[in-house]
Structures are given as C-alpha cells and as structure tokens.
Structure 1
Amino acid sequence: MSGSDSILDKSISRRRVLGYGAAGAGLAMLPWQAALAAKMDAEAGSKAMIKRAIPGTDEMIPAMGMGSSGSYERLSSSSAEELRTVMKEFVAMGGTLVDTSPSYGNAETNIGEIARDTDVRDQLFMATKVRKTSREATLDQFRSSIDALGEPIDLLQIHNFIGLENQWATLKQLKEEGRVRYIGITHYLTSAFDELEHQMATKEMDFVQFNYSVMTPDAEERLLPMAADHGIAVLVNRAFNDGRIFGATKGKQLPEYAKDFDCFSWAQFALKYVLANETVTAAIPATSDPEHLRDNMHAGYGKLPDAAQRKRMRETIASL
C-alpha cells in the first residue's frame, strides 16, 4: 500500500484538529476515540481492508467502495485538487470499486480524467449505469461511458429500473461478448423493494444495489436474505441516509461501546453497521472531502459489530 503511512499520519493529525472523528459535528475527540484512532491508523497501514467475494467467483473486492453522486459531478480549480486527493487516498487506503452514472453530471468524465491523471485507473473496479429505453440509445450511452472512463467497465447496471425489461437483454449480450464483466440493477428507495425483490427472483444478475442503513434497516427483512440465497453481490447506497444521520448525531458524543468494534466516528458507526451484514459486498458513500474519505475508509478495517451490538446501535440512533 504505497504511501499509506504518510497519508494515514496526516489523517489523524487533521482529525485531532477538526474533531471530525468525534461526531462529524465539530466535537473534540474523547481520549478513548483519539487513542483508538491512532491505533487504527497505525494498523491500517499494515493490514488489508476487509474484502468480500463476488458470489459465484473467486474474485474479492474491498468492502469500502466510493460513490460519485454529488461529489464528482462538477470541477473547479480547487475541487479538482481535492478530488485528486480523494482518488489517490481511496486507492492508497485499499479501495478499488468506484460507482458512477451518466446521470451524475460530468462525473464519468471527471472520474476518468482524475483516475488517469493520478495513475490509478488500472487499480479500479469501475461500475457505471445505463438509463435509456431503447437498445441503440443504451449502446450509445455505454460507448460514451467507455470513452469517459476507459476500459474495462467491470459492472454495468440498469439505473433505477429505467428501460429495465427492454434493456436487460442488451446488458446480457454485452456480458456474453466480454464488453462488461458483471451486470445488475439499482434503486435507492425503500418503496422500490417489492420490484427489486421480483427482479432478483426472476433475473440472473451478478449485482444489485439498494439503500440500507442503521436508520433504515428494512433491507434486512427480505432483500439481503434473497441476495444471499440467489448468490447476488450487494452494493449499498444511502448508508448515511443522505446525510440525515449527521443531523441526528450533531452535538452528540459517540457512545463508548463503539470502541468494541474499532469505531471512532459517527460515519464509521453507520458504515460498520452496514458492513457487518456479510451479504453486503461493498458500501459506496460519496464524498469530495479528503478528510471525510479517510474517515469513511477506516470503516473497512478492524472489527465489525455482532448481532447484539447492531441491535444496540439501532436503539442508540432511534433514541437521538
């Protein structure tokens, strides 16, 4: 993990100054948090991130991925430098899976350019989406994604059911031809779970992406067991409930029991809850802030909460 020591040292020094790790709300770290943060920073430099197998294959991918909605969509001179740092440190801290979409502004173009500029493109597991209703429009969009991101496209997903029935055959053909390695579908709303359940039961997909969090754990009831039964890899979006968890925890100290599963921030609290379900292949929070990226990535190291601890976590969040 080349260069990770200096990156991780900088991470802890900033965290002490900014207090981000305490609660994501400007609170100073408590002594136990600072001690755990220092310990985990040191260990992250020498220990591999948690990895999960893509069902039906021998391929393992890191459990912490990175999304791009709202983060890579637009570039300015200042944001470009921050995003280069985010990309470099994402890879240095063990990440590979980047999830994007043609609908996220210029995210595909920006990710492709930054990945090449920082010499990490070959290390990335690149996931993108299509959201067209005709075969030709889908193929045109796919070709544009290749132009922006480069090859290979590891995972191609149908975005939010758009053109799903018409375009599933197109995705299957692209996979058969070796143009993409894996195919799947995505959604981000709990109200879509009935349709997701139907699609997971009736289509041979490699990946499914949906929302799941300590605040909204509904996927535990049906979708996660179904994914396990059908051998479908799971990407989790909205692990922070679009940031609402930080509003709920603002001004609140992290409970001390979080140290029992190597957690020293509210961001990690949310992410470790998600990753503790072994059916989850990867979580994909988006950020354009290098400090937040480092904090997120630490969720992929160390211990994860067990069932009793996850119950306590839900109770903690519900009580805020």
Structure 2
Amino acid sequence: MDHRTLGSTGYRVTEIGLGTWNIGSDWGDVSDEEGREAIRTALDAGIDFLDTADVYGDGKSERNIGDVLDERDAYDDVTVATKAGRRLDPHEPAGYNAENFEQFVDRSLDNLGVDSLDLLQLHCPPTEVYYQPEVFDALDDLKARGKIDAYGVSVEKVEEALKAIEYPGVESVQIIFNPFRQRPSELFFREAARRDVGVIVRVPLASGLLTGKLDRDTEFPENDHRNYNRDGDAFDVGETFAGVPFEAGLDAVDELRPAVPEGTTMAQFTLQWILSFDAVTTVIPGSTSPEHIEDNVAAADLPPLTADQHHRVAEVYDEYVREHVHHRW
C-alpha cells in the first residue's frame, strides 16, 4: 500500500487508515476484544494510521488502540490521530479553551499510554470556534510544551475547513468526502494543497450506504446512530449516511452499481474514487470485520477508475444526491 505525506507534519501514512468510532460507540454493541482484534487486523494488513477520539466509548477506543500498540511494541510504527472537544457539556464555543484542552490531552495521553500525541484534532467544534485565534494559540502552546506533536481540525463544513487553514499551525483537516459528499473537491482541496495541509477523509462509505450491502429492509440496533440520528437528533445529521436521506441514498447506490467493475466491491470502488484526488492524504473507513478491513486495504492497489466511471459518479451525484447535501456542508 502506498504512503502519502500528511501535510507539513512529515508523517508518511498509508492511503487507507482505520477509523475507530465504531469500536468505541454508536454502532451497536462491540466488545473490547472485538475492537482490539479490528486494530490488530488493520496493522497486519499494513495500515499505519489510526484515527480515534476521546469520546468514542468515553475513551474505550483510545484505550484499545493503546493496548494493541503496547502488546506489539508498535508505538513508533503507527501514527495515531485523536480528537478533543466533544466531552464538553454543554458543547459551546467558550469551552474550547486552554484549561480544558490541558485536561482533555492529559486524559488521552493516559488512555493511549504515550508521552505526546501524534496528532490532536479539534472535534467538530461550533463554527464560531474557528473565528477565535486564542483557541489556536492554546494549541500552539501545547505543541511548544511537547504534549502534542501536531494539531489539526475535524470539521463538518467546507466553510470551517477553509477558515481553519488560515491558521499556520493547522496541519491537517478531517472532513467528510465521498461520492455522496463532493463539495470539498472544489475550493477546499485546492486551498489545502496550496497550503500543504493534510486531508483525512472520514465517513467514506456514507455509514454503510456505499458498501452496497444495505437495503430498505435493513434494521439497525437501537444504540446505532443509523437508527437514532437519521434526523440529526443526537449530532450533525451529516455524520449519518453523509446527510443523504436513506431511501435516496439507496436509489443512488442502485444507479452506481453498473459502474463498479466485476470483481470489485462497491466499497472498494468508492475508496478508489476518493483516493483519485491528489489532495487526499488518507481515508479512514471503520469496521470491526477483519474481512472488510482487508478488502478496504486491497482497494488501494486496484487499477484507477476510468474517465467514464468518474463521469457516472458525477451524474448520479447531480441527479440523486446534490440537492440534499451540497448547499449544507
């Protein structure tokens, strides 16, 4: 699997990483051992970039990563990105301050079993936070004191991404991007490349829609966000099915199927499409299935998509998806 450089951090990371939201919470019941085995599978498949957050299972995801890296003595071989901010209650701009950052970082250091965080990301803060320079001054201070090696942001909106990269200390942006969320490939990708900012793509498979394995009869557990957050009742609706209404997403997937080459899964086709954009550093699909993790990694070595396939993705987006998402994020 090829590596790409994560902006100005100097980290060389695999094109396919592992997102670990689902081994922490909000995707049904996942045991600690299932979570650790998913991480082991990812490392065995060649992945060396793991993304987590302090709120995934209230630290469960971070601890599982720390356990596996410790048992394999692999801390120096893997880049771990975590996030902070969503522990705030209420989740308001004023909470994004130096005192709280210190507490959040210390907790993540303990959970992961490290002395310094490879990459700390603000965890989808309110838009107002991006207009407060003192927030980024506080992150600069944490970096100067050696508690974090680099920092970036995880955003909901392109507007937030563009504002964030005006701060010179921001070295990465995590954003939702897939065939159902194409707006980042316009201005933001150009600006990220121009400023040498790494791009981490999350929700690449639109919460499973772009695996092609969901249908109108699919039922989700009560504690799965694809059940309780379809209308944005718990957090930004864009995190669930990439903000596309479930039925419209299924229709769009049906229209995409003929473009997927024989022997390639819909998920692999989607990951290939994302990686065809040079501004993307790494994409972080999440799964607890060893088979799915290995299939995702294999996508990086498949032949590139053709011009006709790219054209079909654009057509389906325009006809079935654009009206639901393009203006919102």
Q: Same fold (TM over 0.5)?
A: yes
Q: CA deviation at 1:256?
A: 6.6
Across the aligned residues of Structure 1 and Structure 2, the Cα RMSD in angstroms comes to 2.9
Question: How far apart, CA to CA, are the structure 2 residues paired with 1:98 and 1:86?
Answer: 11
Aligned mates of 2:70, 2:300 — CA distance in 1: 25
Q: Deviations over 1:255-281 (max 9, x none)?
A: 47636xxx7111111111111101100
Deviates most, 241-250 or 145-154: 241-250
1:68 matched to 2:20: yes
Would the alpha carbon gap of residues 213 and 312 (structure 1) be closer, same or farther in structure 2, given more than 3 Å must change?
same
- Deviation of 1:117 after TM superposition, in Å, equals 3.4
Name the CA distance, whole Å, in 1 between partners of 2:82 and 2:68: 16
**Equivalent residue number for residue 148 of structure 1:** 111
1:82 aligns with 2:85: no
Q: Match of 2:230? A: none
Aligned to 1:258: 261
Tell whether the 8 Å contact from 1:88 to 1:118 is kept in structure 2 after alignment: no
Which letter maps to 1:136?
A: E
Give the equivalent residue in structure 1 for 2:294: 294
The Cα shift of 1:103 comes to 1.6
Mapping of residues 125-136 of structure 1, within 5 Å? 125-131=79-85, 132-136=95-99
Distance in 1 (CA, whole Å) between partners of 2:285 and 2:267 is: 10
For 1:284 and 1:278, the matched residues in 2 are separated by 16
Partner SS state of residue 55, structure 2 = coil
Inter-partner Cα distance in structure 2 for 1:242 and 1:214: 13
Query: Which stretches in structure 2 are left out of the alignment for 5+ residues?
Result: 86-94, 215-249, 321-329
Q: Which amino acid aligns with 1:134?
A: N
Residues 173 and 167 (structure 1), Cα distance of their counterparts in 2 relative to 1, 3 Å cut: same
Q: 1:209 deviation in Å? A: 0.8
Task: Please tell me whether residue 217 in structure 1 is matched to residue 185 in structure 2.
Answer: no
Q: Deviations over 1:87-130 (max 9, x none)?
A: 12211221111111112122222222233235444422011112
Aligned position for 2:65:
111
**Which runs of no fewer than 5 residues in structure 1 stay unpaired?**
1-48
**Greater helix proportion:** 1
Q: Is the Cα contact below 8 Å between 2:170 and 2:197 reproduced in 1?
A: yes
Structure-2 residue corresponding to 1:31: none
Residue equivalent to 2:121: 157
Deviates more, 1:300-309 or 1:62-71: 300-309
- Indicate the SS of the match to 1:167: helix
The aligned amino acid for 1:91 is L
Moved more, 76-85 or 205-214: 76-85
Distance 2:295 2:81 in 1: 23
318 and 118 in structure 1: CA distance in 2 versus 1, 3 angstrom threshold: farther
| Alignment: residue pair count | 266
8 Å CA contact retained: 1:74, 1:107 = no
Structure 1 residue 146 displacement after superposition: 0.3
Task: Give distance in 2, aligned partners of 1:62 and 1:158.
Answer: 22
Amino acid at match of 2:150: Y
Does the alignment pair 1:229 with 2:194? yes
Three-state SS of the structure 1 residue aligned to 2:46 is coil
Determine if contact 1:82/1:290 at 8 Å carries over to the other structure.
no
Mapped partners of 2:176, 2:98: distance in 1: 28
Contact 1:72 1:288 in 2 (8 A): no
Given the superposition, is the C-alpha separation of residues 161 and 239 from structure 1 closer, same or farther in structure 2, using an over 3 Å criterion? same
Q: Residue in 1 aligned with 2:46?
A: 94
What is aligned with 2:141?
173
Q: Which residue of 2 aligns with 1:239?
A: 204
